[in-house]
């Protein structure tokens, strides 16, 4: 009887750890180079060389220089897709259910990325800011796709998606500005503030 060729859990764990370490090396190298020379003055080949990997390895992890600095929000997309939404919930209830899911992903992003360095580069690099905008649009689309079949009209689905993206972006932008001014800002506190302020503004509209 032939032995199984399936990898063991230990081997799979080591492989995942290696992939995570390689991605971090690429991201760190990209950040270092862009901070020193600017996004326009570096190439993917230079980032790969700095990280100690081949160009083709770079493309297995990142699709562009911008993606190496500001990774896609795959964890956020997955969390939204997994969020269970009652079929009889209205738009306000659905938005309220999505907010803690997005907050958890935001906290993870702060803890697992060079949040401060990335936020400063977004302020300085127009192409990086444009890439971040593309990711926001993808976030809106993911929310809209998840809301299909829940009885919401197109405007409600669009606005919920836009509001999810807006609260995320507002926290990033506010943190970047506060940090640039030398203030001791907490990105998670700013995210909570963005949600609270949005609630206050919307309440005022209904009066």
Q: Which residues contact 141 (CB under 8 A, 6 or more apart)?
A: 161
Architecture label for domain 9-68: Orthogonal Bundle (1.10)
Q: Is the pLDDT at 47 greater than 90, yes or no? A: yes
- CATH 1.10.357.10 location in the chain: 70-205
Mean pLDDT of the chain: 89
Q: What would the two tokens of residue 181 be?
A: 């001014």
pLDDT for 207 equals 54
CA distance 95 to 90: 9
| CATH class, range 70-205 | mainly alpha
Q: What would the two tokens of residue 165 be?
A: 């993206």
- Work out the average pLDDT over 195-207: 81
Q: Is the pLDDT at 69 greater than 70, yes or no? A: yes
């Amino acid at each position: 009887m032939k032995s199984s060729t399936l990898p063991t859990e230990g081997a799979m764990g080591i492989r995942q750890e290696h992939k995570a370490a390689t991605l971090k090396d690429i991201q760190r190298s990209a950040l270092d180079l862009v901070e020193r020379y600017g996004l326009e003055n570096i190439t993917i080949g230079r980032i790969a060389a700095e990280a100690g990997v081949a160009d083709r390895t770079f493309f297995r992890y990142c699709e562009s220089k911008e993606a190496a600095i500001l990774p896609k929000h795959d964890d956020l997309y997955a969390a939204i897709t997994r969020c269970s939404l009652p079929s009889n919930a209205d738009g306000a209830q659905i938005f309220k259910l999505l907010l803690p899911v997005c907050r958890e992903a935001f906290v993870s992003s702060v803890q697992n990325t060079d949040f401060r360095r990335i936020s400063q580069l977004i302020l300085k690099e127009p192409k990086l800011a444009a890439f971040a905008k593309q990711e926001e649009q993808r976030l809106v689309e993911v929310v809209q796709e998840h809301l299909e079949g829940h009885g919401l009209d197109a405007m409600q689905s669009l606005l919920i998606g836009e509001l999810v993206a807006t609260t995320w972006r507002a926290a990033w932008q506010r943190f970047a500005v506060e940090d640039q001014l030398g203030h001791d800002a907490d990105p998670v506190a700013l995210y909570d503030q963005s949600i609270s302020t949005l609630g206050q503004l919307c309440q005022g509209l209904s009066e």
